[in-house]
Structure 1
Amino acid sequence: MITKFFKNIGPGPLIAAAFIGPGTVTVCTLAGVNFGYALLWAMALSIFATIVLQEMAARLGIVAQKGLSEIIREEIKHPVVKVLAILLILSAIVIGNAAYEAGNISGGALGVEAIVGSIVWEIGRLKLNVMSLIIGAIAFILLYIGSYKMLEKIFVFLVILMSFAFIATAIITKPNFIEIVKGVFIPKAPVGSVLSVIALIGTTVVPYNIFLHASLAKTKWSDKTDLKLAKKDTLVAVVLGGIVSMCIIIAASAIQKETIENASDLALGLEPLFGRFAKYFLAIGLFAAGITSAITAPLAASFVTSGCLGWDADLKSKKFKAVWISIVLLGVIFSSSGFKSIEIIQFAQVANGLLLPIIAGFLLWIMNKSSVLGTYKNTKLQNLLGLIILVITIFLGLKGILSVFNLL
């Protein structure tokens, strides 16, 4: 029974691992510290939207046996529109992921540093964070030697480890379960919480995950009879990811506001209240979140680039490797040297704010094409849910862009 379960596990854990990165941990931590359980409903909404979009992406990959960027390139016939779409996708995903990779590596390093402390090498005026170099090296090695099956097993282990760590942390804080239920099912928007709601949804419904899921689904499954397995895989993994995110919010709710500025502070802040084990649990979770996202971000960038430019999307391909190696190296450089890539991160936020509704729109358009999906195209209910999510992503995109330029 257990063997069969693990055999049928697909790319779902990778998708869950991709959206539970250090950025998500930080956003959930601050939401919990500032607003307690009040914003748990926003995470529940995020998980629902993620399930709907990722199911479409997985179905597209299995039925069409192509990645989303590859299908977009083929289906857009107007040359100017095609070039603009490809440029937008490449700039947002590739450059954006390079910026976020620095955050992923830094987050993994913070998890280790919460236990062993910071180690910095000084070379002249240059300061290098040793833990960032180690995290980057681990991500590089796993991607370089890894087949899809090996990466899948590693991710299942890391997601289980991360889930255990964050769920254990939440349990240690002895939460109020009645208040948790209220927070999940009764939407509230306390004063000053609008940007936190946007951040919670924006950090969970990730544009590059839509590309990644379609590409990985076709790698895992090639028969349309596997669609049920893919749906179950998506549902279980994303719901588990949502529970983990909620556990971070719940754990953070137990900490005094003044003690927390970021996710690493949460690990240290829990120790005096709940003992040293709380710190270790959270540190392990943060480390696992950093490692998994440090692998998925470069992987997604390679799949997107390969699809947009018509390359062979093979983990062993030299061009495919060249893209993810570039992303990992940039992430390591920015993270280990303490370089504040404010302009690049700002560009990534703006680009992804624009990209999410555009990609959700592209996905809905393609999911209704009989020439691509035949009888497996969207039902009326799936289109309705997709349109609701599209409207929400447009709203969030505009809000996110305005917030970046301090206009909100």
Structure 2
Amino acid sequence: MIKNWLKNIGPGTLVAAAFIGPGTVTLCTLAGVNFGMNLLWAMLVSIIATIILQEMAARLGIISQKGLSEVIRSEINNPFLRHIITVLILSAIVIGNASYEAGNISGGILGLETVFGKMILEIGGVSINFMSVFIGVIAFALLFIGNYKFLEKTLITLVLLMSFSFLITALITKPNLVEILKGLFVPKFPEESLLIIIGLIGTTVVPYNLFLHASLVKEKWKTADELTLAKKDTIISIILGGLVSIAIIISAASIQTNSVGSVTDLAKSLAPLYGEFAKYFLALGMFAAGITSAITAPLAAAYVAKGCLGWSGGLKSNKFRMVWIFILFLGVLFSSFGIKPIEIIKFAQVANGMLLPVIAGVLLWIMNKKSVLGKYSNTKTQNIFGIIILVFSVFLGVKSILKVLNVF
């Protein structure tokens, strides 16, 4: 049974790999340290919303055999509206992923440094973080091979490793099951928790994952008969990813201090309480989270650019490679020299805040088009859930934009 499940698991795991990045790990750590188990319900809501949207994206990819950006280009007939949405998508995802890539690589570095310490190279008076280059080379090699099945297997292995590491860490802390259940099913809004709640949902319901998923499923599945496999893959993988986030919150909730600001601090705090094993498991999980996101972010950006600009060719085409190489290079550069492109990240956050409700709305519109999906278009129940998520994403988008602009 397990062998059969592993054979059919695929693109959904890559989506989980994409949203469990260093940013998610850090936010979950802060949620657990500052609010205990009280915000677990926000992760549960995020997981449900992500499953609903990603199932739509997967269904669209399999039935149309096109990526989401390609379908948007072909279905929006108004040239002005099409150009506006295309620019917004390219800005938010290509530029956004370039700015976040440094954070992904830096997250992987934190995991390694927790165990091995810092490795700084001094070249001509310039300090370069060796581990940043090391992670960049691994990501480059995996993406350059351009073999989807190989890339998929590698990322599945890393995600399972990450999941195992974080879940074991949570079990080591011997959490209270009753408190976990209360946190999951009794929504609470502790004082000053709103931004963390928005952050937890915003790092799980990720716009670029909708594009990545729609593009990846057609690499693995070609016919409507395989929709059930895709649905199972989506549900299992995203639940697994959600369990990782929940495990991090549970681990962080066991620390009776507010001085923990990152997963590295958490690893150091857990070591004296629960032994060195906790530290090593957490460090391994952080490394896996960083490197999987460092691979999927450039990959998603390349798929988006390919669809928006109408490029032909696959993973090995020169234009496709140029996009992910550019994003990976910027990530390595910024993380190597410790540069924090704050203004670019702020721009990306605003663009992503605007993009999520736009894409959720466009996706919902496309999922009801018989000309694209035929009998596989949305049911009334799927539309109801989709509309609820759309309204929520508008709220989430407005809040994130106001937060970046320091209005709220």
TM-score, normalised with respect to structure 1: 0.99
What's the counterpart of residue 44 of structure 1?
44
Partner-residue secondary structure (3-state), 2:188? coil
How far did residue 21 of structure 1 move?
A: 0.5
How far did residue 7 of structure 1 move?
A: 1.8
Residues 212-245 of structure 1 show CA distances to partners (whole Å, capped at 9, x for unaligned) of 0000011110010000000000000000110110
Once residues 190 and 5 of structure 1 are traced to their aligned partners in structure 2, the CA distance between those partners, rounded to angstroms, is: 40
Moved over 4 A (4+): none
Once residues 326 and 56 of structure 2 are traced to their aligned partners in structure 1, the CA distance between those partners, rounded to angstroms, is: 30
Partner-residue secondary structure (3-state), 1:204? coil
Once residues 404 and 111 of structure 1 are traced to their aligned partners in structure 2, the CA distance between those partners, rounded to angstroms, is: 28
Residues 106-143 of structure 1 show CA distances to partners (whole Å, capped at 9, x for unaligned) of 00010000000011122344321111111111111111
How far did residue 8 of structure 1 move?
A: 1.1
What's the counterpart of residue 329 of structure 1?
329
What's the counterpart of residue 343 of structure 1?
343
Partner-residue secondary structure (3-state), 2:127? strand
What's the counterpart of residue 357 of structure 2?
357
Once residues 353 and 17 of structure 1 are traced to their aligned partners in structure 2, the CA distance between those partners, rounded to angstroms, is: 21
What's the counterpart of residue 129 of structure 2?
129
How far did residue 82 of structure 1 move?
A: 1.1
2:289 aligned partner, one-letter code? A
2:256 aligned partner, one-letter code? Q
Once residues 368 and 26 of structure 2 are traced to their aligned partners in structure 1, the CA distance between those partners, rounded to angstroms, is: 37
How far did residue 78 of structure 1 move?
A: 1.2
Contact 2:59 2:227 in 1 (8 A): yes
Q: How does 1:89-238 map to 2 (within 5 A)?
A: 89-238=89-238
1:291 aligned partner, one-letter code? I
Q: How does 1:244-283 map to 2 (within 5 A)?
A: 244-283=244-283
1:101 aligned partner, one-letter code? E
2:263 aligned partner, one-letter code? A
Structure 1 gap ranges (5+): none
Contact 1:334 1:340 in 2 (8 A): yes
Q: How does 1:275-294 map to 2 (within 5 A)?
A: 275-294=275-294
Contact 1:121 1:128 in 2 (8 A): yes
What's the counterpart of residue 32 of structure 1?
32
Identity, % of aligned positions: 65
Once residues 357 and 128 of structure 1 are traced to their aligned partners in structure 2, the CA distance between those partners, rounded to angstroms, is: 39
Contact 1:353 1:401 in 2 (8 A): yes
What's the counterpart of residue 383 of structure 2?
383
Once residues 92 and 149 of structure 1 are traced to their aligned partners in structure 2, the CA distance between those partners, rounded to angstroms, is: 28
1:314 lines up with 2:335 in the alignment? no
Residues 338-387 of structure 1 show CA distances to partners (whole Å, capped at 9, x for unaligned) of 00100011011100000000010110010000000000000000000000
Partner-residue secondary structure (3-state), 1:331? helix
Once residues 342 and 8 of structure 1 are traced to their aligned partners in structure 2, the CA distance between those partners, rounded to angstroms, is: 40
2:67 aligned partner, one-letter code? G
1:123 aligned partner, one-letter code? I
When structure 1 is superposed on structure 2, of 182-191 and 136-145 the one drifting more is: 136-145
Structure 2 gap ranges (5+): none
How far did residue 404 of structure 1 move?
A: 1.0
Once residues 208 and 32 of structure 1 are traced to their aligned partners in structure 2, the CA distance between those partners, rounded to angstroms, is: 26
Contact 1:259 1:269 in 2 (8 A): no
How far did residue 258 of structure 1 move?
A: 3.5
Residues 164-204 of structure 1 show CA distances to partners (whole Å, capped at 9, x for unaligned) of 10000000111011000000000000000000000000000
Partner-residue secondary structure (3-state), 2:122? strand
Once residues 146 and 314 of structure 1 are traced to their aligned partners in structure 2, the CA distance between those partners, rounded to angstroms, is: 8
Once residues 323 and 141 of structure 1 are traced to their aligned partners in structure 2, the CA distance between those partners, rounded to angstroms, is: 15
What's the counterpart of residue 64 of structure 1?
64
1:2 aligned partner, one-letter code? I
When structure 1 is superposed on structure 2, of 121-130 and 214-223 the one drifting more is: 121-130
Once residues 97 and 312 of structure 2 are traced to their aligned partners in structure 1, the CA distance between those partners, rounded to angstroms, is: 20
TM-score, normalised with respect to structure 2: 0.99
What's the counterpart of residue 402 of structure 2?
402
Partner-residue secondary structure (3-state), 1:237? helix
What's the Cα RMSD here?
A: 0.9
Partner-residue secondary structure (3-state), 1:259? coil
What's the counterpart of residue 10 of structure 1?
10
Partner-residue secondary structure (3-state), 2:402? helix
Contact 2:88 2:355 in 1 (8 A): yes
2:236 aligned partner, one-letter code? V
